[in-house]
Amino acid sequence: MKDGTQHPANAGKFRNPALTATGERRATVALSHPETLWFNTGTLCNIACQNCYIESSPTNDALVYLTAEDVAAFLGQLRDRRWPVTEIGFTGGEPFMNPQMIEMAHLSLEAGYRVLILTNAMRPMMRPAMRDGLLWLRDRFGDRLTLRISLDHHEPRHHDAERGTGAYERTLDGMDWLRDNGFTMSVAGRALWHESDDAAREGYAALFAARGYDIDAASPAQTVLFPEMDTSVEVPEITTDCWSILGKSPDAVMCASSRMVVKRRGAERPAVLACTLLPYAPEFELGETLAEAESDVALNHPHCAKFCVLGGASCSA
């Protein structure tokens, strides 16, 4: 997703972390149950997608490569802070562009965590060194390692419209290799084509059956369908009253259960962010340590409302 022109109705919103534009108390979210620590391995990617929320590309190094040393330091902080995290996630960019990806995954698995790597399953993952490393991790840790493949749509024309001609087949080639070598896979798709959730899942189910992929298309955990994040549409601000109006709990919002580590180009040390979806918003940078990252998060961005809280609902009483 590339931020477009702000919707006129959003003017004046999302400015004050404590109050909405109408003077109501803005909702905040506590880190109530940390489950996943994410590492952004760097924004470099082998392709440039039309709607990449982080604007990854072969030239964007706004977030530089994390190192195994960086990951080891934060794993140590997890132990020291006694966060009940069970999963380490790696995202990018394309994680397999990072030459230390296998070592970073190994450190996390060796420490007892499940590991989730988000990948397009294309050329970076299919390089011999990465394939050998993945096979080594599979032999040592089995299904504690999951590869979540970015497959924007079950039809090649829609996927390629996002990622370039031929991208669909190259991704399926990578998924075939993962299937043939017994890796645990899941899929991340996009809800961009005005089809219902049921129709999208039926399309993925047919694809998975035809290719022999052991992925449950009906499971939101195994086939994740992300809505588009567009700042050019009108969204309401989330007030403290919204929780009761919507019948939702702040514990269900992503920043209640996760944080993300990044390293900005030119920075001396990595930083911890409140949200995986807002890597460039300075107000969501919480500090350089997990201790600093335990602070509450103000829902002070359109994505907080549209993507994480509302899901198509309304705060109107």
| Paired tokens of 68 | 């195994």
Task: Specify the pLDDT at position 165.
Answer: 96
Report which DSSP code applies to 144.
G
Q: What's the domain count of the chain? A: 1
Q: Is residue 165 part of a domain?
A: yes
Q: Is residue 15 part of a domain?
A: no
Q: Is residue 310 part of a domain?
A: no
Q: Is residue 21 part of a domain?
A: no
| Paired tokens of 121 | 């399953």
| Paired tokens of 268 | 């001396």
Q: Is residue 309 part of a domain?
A: no
- Name the 3-class secondary structure at 195: coil
Q: Is residue 12 part of a domain?
A: no
Q: Domain containing 150 — which CATH number? A: 3.20.20.70
Cα pseudo-dihedral 122, 125, 126, 132, rounded to 10? -170
Note down pLDDT in tens along the chain; length 317 residues: 444 445 666 678 999 999 999 999 999 999 999 999 999 999 999 999 988 888 999 999 999 999 999 999 999 999 999 999 999 999 999 999 999 999 999 999 999 999 999 999 999 999 999 999 999 999 999 999 999 999 999 999 999 999 999 999 999 999 999 999 999 999 999 877 688 999 999 999 999 999 999 999 999 999 999 876 666 677 889 999 999 998 999 999 999 999 999 999 999 999 999 999 899 999 999 999 999 999 999 999 988 888 888 764 445 43
Q: Is residue 41 part of a domain?
A: yes
- Overall size of the chain counted in residues: 317
Task: Specify the pLDDT at position 316.
Answer: 42
158 within 8 A of 200, measured Cβ to Cβ: no
In this structure, how many other beta carbons lie within 10 angstroms of the beta carbon of residue 34?
20
Q: Is residue 1 part of a domain?
A: no
- Name the 3-class secondary structure at 169: helix
Angstrom CA distances, 313 to 7, 221, 242, 254, stand at 18, 21, 11, 17
Element (H, E) at 148: strand 145-150
In this structure, how many other beta carbons lie within 10 angstroms of the beta carbon of residue 169?
12
Q: Range of 118's domain?
A: 30-235+250-302
- Please tell me the pTM assigned to this model: 0.93
Interhelix angle 167-180/197-211, rounded to 10 degrees, is: 60
Burial of residue 3 (CB within 10 Å: 0-12, 13-18, 19+) is middle
- Name the 3-class secondary structure at 215: coil
